[in-house]
Structure 1
Amino acid sequence: MQKIRALIASPRVLSIKSNGWLYKCAGIRWIMSEESGNVQNKPVKRVEEGNGESGEHIRKKLKSDVEQTGDERKHPKRKVVLLLAYSGKGYYGMQRNAGSSQFKTIEDELVTALIKSGCIPDNHGDDMKKMSFQRCARTDKGVSAAGQVVSLKLWMIEDIKEKLNSNLPPQIRVLGLKRVTGGFNSKNSCDARTYSYMLPTVAFAPKDYSTENSIAFRLEPETLQRVNCLFGSYKGTHNFHNFTSQKAARDPSARRYITEMTCGEPFVRGGAEFAEITVRGQSFMMHQIRKMIGLVIAVVKGYSGDEVLKRSWGEEKVDVPKAPGLGLVLEKVHFDRYNKRFGGDGLHECLEWTEEEQAILAFKEEHIYPSIVETECQEGSMASWMATLPIHDFKATAKGAQDKDRGQVGESNRIIFASSIVWFFFFKSNKMFNISSLIIN
């Protein structure tokens, strides 16, 4: 290979061909890359001395910039958001678990469809950061969504929605697609999230009511009024460290702002009476909504007094029951700040989905509501969960229970220690003792 030397420093980019290689000079550095038709037409960034980039690093960067497949040249890559609706039954939540194929998630199905449809390269499926993927909410196992929004970069192929849906199972649909700004992040740009929770109204029956006759139960207006009074107390900013796991009482991130929480009028499906709870907040922690509902159910059924809600926002650890995940649905995510800033600039659309409302409702009626009602009637997840409420001690704090457990553990250790001493002398007297065989915790 012919050796080329830069004789003078020049701000212009010089190009010299030799033995099938293209040498380019930017500043006082020579950049070597394989000759191709695309290289001559690609502008080369000027490299100043002392910027810390080696020639090999620049060569690789040039190759990655200019070497594109036919699909990439044909279809531009853009930042978009997808409106998703899905039934969470049978899935281990929304977020993908890389390298864990046995626990299938919604994102597993979505990434597979993106690759099959030609929206992203194959290697983006292994590393979702390559497509700047982000979701608004990480729904838990079994939780459904009617208005989940994800942001990502993809190739703008024709008929994206139709091709994606053809590669998705029926219980997962892409209902909308919109262009967004290059720096958009669906999680960070989301101002608020609205969830609903559909449950059989027998959950609010007195604790001595027999669940064997749950289909016949009908919620009294006075009980519904009390339920809404309790839910209303959640409004505002509170410390919800007792409503999730691994959050300390003084952790600032445990403070969350709730703007709405109500229970709607009951309705009958499958012969049983149901009701839908709606809650809107800035953001929610793992299991927070299910625990908020679980604690109100415990109070209405008579397992605890109303004061437990206020006590649960204090620093002491309170035992809060977690309602089943079956009826929880992510209804809508809100982008008020983004819409105000970019929605009217003439280049980007408002992230509102009024045109998709009928499709959202149709999906809920076909996939989400029937799944919740049928599963509840067949498996009785709410009745099974209500049977566990008596084991919760709403008066004692978790700290007291921990102290009690420590006392029991300490007593057990003393017994083990005493037994070990007895066995020590026994083995020693029989000359069978091996010090490595004695373990005292």
Structure 2
Amino acid sequence: MPASLRQLAKNCLRAMVTSATPYESWSKEDLIARLTQLEPPRAAITPPPQNPRRLWRTFDFSSYPRRKIALKFCYSGWVYNGLAIQADTTPLPTVEGVLFEALAKARLIDPDAGLEGCGWERCGRTDRGVSAGGQVISLWVRSALDSASIASKPSIPSPKDPTPPPEEVEEAADTEDAFPGLDGDFGSLDDMDFPLPVQTTSKSEHSYALILNRILPPTIRILAWSPVAPEFSSRFACKSRHYKYFFTSDSLDIPRMVEAAALLVGGHDFRNFCKLDASKQLTTYRRRIISADINPVAGSATGMHVLDLKGSAFLYHQVRHIMAVLFMVGAGLEAPSIVTALLNVEPGAEGDPSLPVVDTRPEYQMADALPLMLYECHYAPGDVEWQTEEEADPDVLGLYHQMHALHARADMYTTLNREFLNAAAVHHAPQPVHLPLTATGFVPDGRTPMNLPLGGAEFRRIAKYVPLLERNRGAHFEVVNERWRLGKGARREERRKAAEDDGDE
């Protein structure tokens, strides 16, 4: 017991003895109230002054204007668990997760509002391992302009003037403190201090690309940004998408692949060139391919080729299924006409009544994800006006030189691996190559193994090849949809209704 409290208790006992007041008859509550009354007043405690840098944590987003923009960016898909943020924990981070965290750290969006709070939309979803050279998202972000300026002109700092406006100096100052996480370890938002936002009358917009590229890891780079209309959607405003799939010409007959790829052009039902996603409940699989070209990659010393595939829209895993079929054609195991047969999903669908009807997909393994890239998303003129900013600090490499350095380093690894191959060739002979059958003349005997290319330097070793049209078929999409509705879909609907009922209580 503290000394002051012991002294107070002694005084109370002395008062009980000397006073006529009958304290012995008081209740416990009355005695406590009396002690509180007799206790001397305590000195007021003054709280420590608040750190002004911590005020950024209580930054009021509602007091700043917002504008809608589109961001064009590239990313190395092999280090991410796909593009889209997942509800469950993933083995690798997602591209959107890292990008969202960077936007939140720069205080361009409110992290507490989530994706819905900033109207986040993506042009096209890419799966784990798939890269992008020109992915696009649209969202609402904090602006340095007032509402009138946003409506009148989408201004950014002029590339001719390397001096950023006052607010940009505040946000870009001391990169290691203001924008931590260059090593990819983002941690918690509460672990960092940020400079106070500066109200300015400047009519220059934030340098969105520069700000984000200082935070993002080098495997994600913002290429440009564009002001867009409030109703703009990066997904639904996209007119066409351009995919690239890279592969080596080893064991492949490229002219046959070119012939087969040309049969993809036009409007077709591609149900046999995709994975059925029952959760989307699709009932039509008709898509239009604008062009499908196969060409050698300029400057490649290893026979690298690329499929350039452009279309208005694509189905789930469509490009990887197309490449798997083209690999079979290139290996000489299927004729180019197999493409037309797989597109003939009902009698006369492809204009030839003699073609077999293939209304469900034969079983085959789709191509590897690594060589696939969403290269470009195309929009109507006037929908987007891509803008860039140059790095003002002469000691910091510009974006082009950053990407050039990454390419040069990757080229060095290629050179080293080629020398390792040469060293191995001194002691080890290459295995016999039986594909493509059109060049080697080999006749499969059911015993001799062959390496069927799957892309990404992956192969499937087979001895007996079963033609595609003779393989087992998957279920019709109507059956797949109904199975999902009665199973997982019904359970999902029950959970949704239960959540609504809980919210009504």
Answer whether TM exceeds 0.5 for this pair: yes
Q: CA deviation at 1:265?
A: 2.4
CA distance in 2, matches of 1:78, 1:309: 46
Q: CA deviation at 1:382?
A: 3.9
Number of residue equivalences: 302
Determine whether 1:319 maps to 2:363: yes
SS in structure 1 of the partner of residue 104 of structure 2: helix
Rate the CA distance shift 1:389–1:312 in 2: closer, same or farther, 3 A: farther
Q: Indicate the larger mover: 288-297 or 314-323.
A: 314-323
* Partner deviation per Cα, 1:218-268 (whole Å, 9 max, x = no partner): xxxxx43332111111000111111222269x9543111001011112556
Q: 2:302 aligns with which of 269, 272, 286?
A: 272
Determine whether 1:197 maps to 2:221: no
Q: Indicate the larger mover: 223-232 or 275-284.
A: 223-232
What is the match of residue 138 of structure 1? 125
Rate the CA distance shift 1:97–1:264 in 2: closer, same or farther, 3 A: same
Q: 1:123 aligns with which of 112, 115, 125?
A: 112
Q: 1:281 aligns with which of 311, 318, 336?
A: 311
Q: 2:461 aligns with which of 377, 387, 396?
A: 387
SS in structure 1 of the partner of residue 296 of structure 2: coil
SS in structure 2 of the partner of residue 264 of structure 1: strand
Q: Is the 8 A contact 2:138 2:233 kept in 1?
A: yes
Q: Is the 8 A contact 1:91 1:141 kept in 2?
A: yes
Rate the CA distance shift 1:401–1:185 in 2: closer, same or farther, 3 A: closer
Q: 2:81 aligns with which of 88, 92, 97?
A: 92
Q: CA deviation at 1:198?
A: 1.2
* Partner deviation per Cα, 1:141-180 (whole Å, 9 max, x = no partner): 1111111110001112533222211111001011111111
Rate the CA distance shift 1:101–1:395 in 2: closer, same or farther, 3 A: closer
Q: Is the 8 A contact 1:318 1:398 kept in 2?
A: yes
CA distance in 2, matches of 1:85, 1:400: 35
Rate the CA distance shift 1:160–1:394 in 2: closer, same or farther, 3 A: same
Provide structure 2 residue ranges, at least 5 long, that are not aligned to the other structure.
1-57, 145-205, 346-358, 391-397, 422-452, 477-505
What is the match of residue 399 of structure 1? 473
Give the structure with higher Rg (CA): 2
1:36-435 superposed matches below 5 A:
71-72=60-61, 75-124=64-113, 127-157=114-144, 158-202=206-250, 204=252, 223-246=253-276, 252-267=283-298, 269=300, 272-313=302-343, 314=345, 315-336=359-380, 339=381, 343=382, 350-351=384-385, 363=403, 366=406, 370=410, 382-387=456-461, 393-399=467-473
Q: CA deviation at 1:312?
A: 1.3
Provide structure 1 residue ranges, at least 5 long, that are not aligned to the other structure.
1-68, 205-222, 344-348, 403-441
TM-score by length of 1: 0.60
Q: Indicate the larger mover: 311-320 or 110-119.
A: 311-320
CA distance in 2, matches of 1:167, 1:242: 42
Q: Is the 8 A contact 1:321 1:389 kept in 2?
A: no
Q: Is the 8 A contact 1:136 1:190 kept in 2?
A: yes
Rate the CA distance shift 1:227–1:305 in 2: closer, same or farther, 3 A: closer
CA distance in 2, matches of 1:178, 1:87: 22
Rate the CA distance shift 1:252–1:365 in 2: closer, same or farther, 3 A: farther
Rate the CA distance shift 1:135–1:391 in 2: closer, same or farther, 3 A: farther
CA distance in 2, matches of 1:388, 1:368: 37
CA distance in 2, matches of 1:389, 1:296: 19
SS in structure 2 of the partner of residue 311 of structure 1: helix
Rate the CA distance shift 1:231–1:273 in 2: closer, same or farther, 3 A: same
Q: Is the 8 A contact 2:68 2:227 kept in 1?
A: yes
CA distance in 2, matches of 1:233, 1:361: 40
Q: Is the 8 A contact 1:85 1:363 kept in 2?
A: no
SS in structure 1 of the partner of residue 229 of structure 2: coil
CA distance in 2, matches of 1:368, 1:282: 34
Q: Is the 8 A contact 2:106 2:212 kept in 1?
A: yes
Q: CA deviation at 1:295?
A: 0.2
Q: CA deviation at 1:106?
A: 0.5
SS in structure 2 of the partner of residue 296 of structure 1: helix
CA distance in 2, matches of 1:279, 1:105: 25
SS in structure 2 of the partner of residue 284 of structure 1: coil
CA distance in 2, matches of 1:293, 1:368: 28
In proportion to residue count, which structure has more strand?
A: 1
Q: Counterpart of 1:132 in structure 2: which amino acid?
A: G
Q: Is the 8 A contact 1:295 1:321 kept in 2?
A: no
Percent of aligned pairs with the same amino acid: 26
Q: Counterpart of 1:242 in structure 2: which amino acid?
A: N
Q: CA deviation at 1:354?
A: 10
SS in structure 2 of the partner of residue 225 of structure 1: helix
Q: CA deviation at 1:332?
A: 0.7
CA distance in 2, matches of 1:83, 1:401: 39
CA distance in 1, matches of 2:231, 2:363: 41
Aligned alpha-carbon RMSD (Å): 3.7
CA distance in 1, matches of 2:404, 2:470: 41
Q: CA deviation at 1:350?
A: 3.5
Q: Counterpart of 2:329 in structure 1: which amino acid?
A: V
Q: Is the 8 A contact 2:209 2:388 kept in 1?
A: no
CA distance in 2, matches of 1:261, 1:369: 31
CA distance in 2, matches of 1:116, 1:321: 41
Q: CA deviation at 1:89?
A: 1.3
CA distance in 2, matches of 1:376, 1:324: 21
CA distance in 1, matches of 2:462, 2:103: 42
CA distance in 2, matches of 1:364, 1:330: 20
CA distance in 1, matches of 2:463, 2:374: 26
